[in-house]
Amino acid sequence: MSSKSDLFERPVGAPLLASTNTARVRDQAFSGFDLPQELQSLSDVLREFVKKEICPVEASLDPTERAIPEDKLALLQAKARQLDFWCLDAPVEFGGGGLSTFQMTVVWEQASRHRFAFPVPGGGVFGYSPPVPLYSGNDDQIDRYVRPAIAKGLKTFTAISEPTGGSDPARAMRTTAVRQGDHFVLNGRKMWSTNADEADFGVVYARTDPAKGRAGISAFVLETNTPGMHVSKIPVMRNHWTTEIALENCKIPVENLIGKEGEGFGLAQKWMVRGRLMLASQALGVAEEAIRLAVDWAKERETFGALLATRQGIQFPLADSLVELNAARLLTWQAAWKDDQGEDARVEASMAKLYASEMGFRVVDRAIQILGGMGLAKEMNLEHWFRDLRTMRIVEGGSEIQRYLIARDMLGAAAIGRRD
């Protein structure tokens, strides 16, 4: 078999070797603890791409940069396209790679072993897949939004959380969409919508029938040049800001309704498993890279005449980190495998997101402590990941929400004070 370096050093523009062909990867199912050959090869090549192409670009940037600059990003994206690493999670029929949930957890982990791994694995180098509910759109919506977004690498946004609450959007949602002839008129405010300031369009959720609870929530395509839509940035603790969206009598055509009225919440739930497993996989990739940095430092750094690697105070945190990393990976793989079987994997995805996000934060925190002063230096990536992982414990359902969902599945009606 070819070595990883041989796989990576093939001529730019040459198709992927058979052992890393995306189509062959798609046809394989995970059936044990060893990855199928094609998926392992794809994982190896992607890891080398991140190491040899993305990491050097990031290392050359000023520490105050918030993301890979657009000119450098465009060059990296061109290379990713040539290697068939483009929108691997998007359906094949729309121009994506069509990888399954399990296959994507493996890919997302390797694509996250670098500084700007959040909010998108690869920092946008591997493209931006459009909001998943759009895959359920009609032919016109697919042609107008999905295919161009994948082909052109367009950024999109999702707007569901509001100032009144993000953890329970079904009850907290106040944004309304009122039909008036051949249009809907949207009014309300959305919070924490990543990329709304840079996107061409996104998916916004609003109440079309306030009396029906979650069954009265619908999803719409909203173009960012729509009159009455105002976007403002919200600086947060991590480098990548988020946005607030104000909707003031925004008129959008009826054709922008995704599916039927009242189906919006169900469409959002289809996205939750993959969304939470993407975050879990990002935490895995960053945690493994943090462990590598800490191990390398412990093997080289001397204190009081001996290597740090000889100190139990260093050995034990490293051992704990590796144990927790492997446990988080197995939880993530289990949830992804179940989703690929067509089973309900929401609880397993909650377990994976909960444990992996908190694991990643602990691992990076330990690595910072082991490196001491250097752990705080921006050139080491650790302090950057520390802030990103602290954010991850809140986004896509905070740790408390994940624990509640897991406990509710265990306790049934008793979790809300009722006897069976």
Distances (CA, A) of 2 to 27, 37, 82: 21, 12, 20
Q: How far apart are CA 276 and CA 406, in angstroms?
A: 14
pLDDT at 240: 73
pLDDT at 241: 78
User: Residue ranges of the domains in the chain?
Assistant: 4-128, 156-258, 266-416
Total H helices, total E strands in the chain: 15, 10
Domain 4-128 coded CATH 1.10.540.10: yes
pLDDT at 22: 67
pLDDT at 418: 79
Taking alpha carbons only, the member of 368, 360, 351, 350 closest to residue 388 is 360
Digit-coded pLDDT (tens) for 45-74? 999 999 999 999 999 999 889 899 999 999
Pairing of strands 217-223, 201-207: antiparallel
Q: Specify the DSSP class assigned to residue 310.
A: G
Pairing of strands 306-307, 302-303: antiparallel
Angle between helices 312-340 and 101-110 (to 10 degrees): 150
Digit-coded pLDDT (tens) for 126-176? 999 999 899 999 999 999 999 999 999 999 999 999 998 766 777 789 999
Half-sphere exposure of 83 (CA within 13 A, CB side): 26
pLDDT at 6: 41
pLDDT at 32: 59
For 249, residues 6+ apart whose C-beta sits below 8 A from its C-beta are 185, 186, 187, 228
The class level of CATH for 156-258 reads mainly beta
Q: How far apart are CA 225 and CA 236, in angstroms?
A: 25
pLDDT at 262: 95
Q: How far apart are CA 355 and CA 192, in angstroms?
A: 23
104: number of Cβ within 10 Å: 21
Pairing of strands 183-191, 217-223: unpaired
Dig out the tokens for 276 from the structure: 């939470």
10: number of Cβ within 10 Å: 15
Taking alpha carbons only, the member of 135, 123, 131, 129 closest to residue 152 is 129
Cis peptide before 119 (omega within 30 of 0): yes
Between the two ends of the chain, the Cα-to-Cα distance in Å is 58
Angle between helices 264-300 and 312-340 (to 10 degrees): 150
Dig out the tokens for 236 from the structure: 């947060």
Instruction: Give the phi and the psi of residue 252 in degrees, each rounded to 5.
Output: -130, 145
Q: How far apart are CA 144 and CA 111, in angstroms?
A: 29
pLDDT at 12: 35
Please check whether residue 114 is in contact with residue 55, taking contact to mean a CB–CB distance below 8 angstroms: yes
- Ranges under pLDDT 70 in the chain: 1-24, 26-33, 166-167, 420
pLDDT at 248: 98
What fold, for 266-416?
Butyryl-CoA Dehydrogenase, subunit A; domain 3 (1.20.140)
Q: What are the residues facing 228 on neighbouring strands?
A: none
Can 248 be counted among the known catalytic residues?
no
> Which listed residue (9, 379, 396, 400) is catalytic?
396
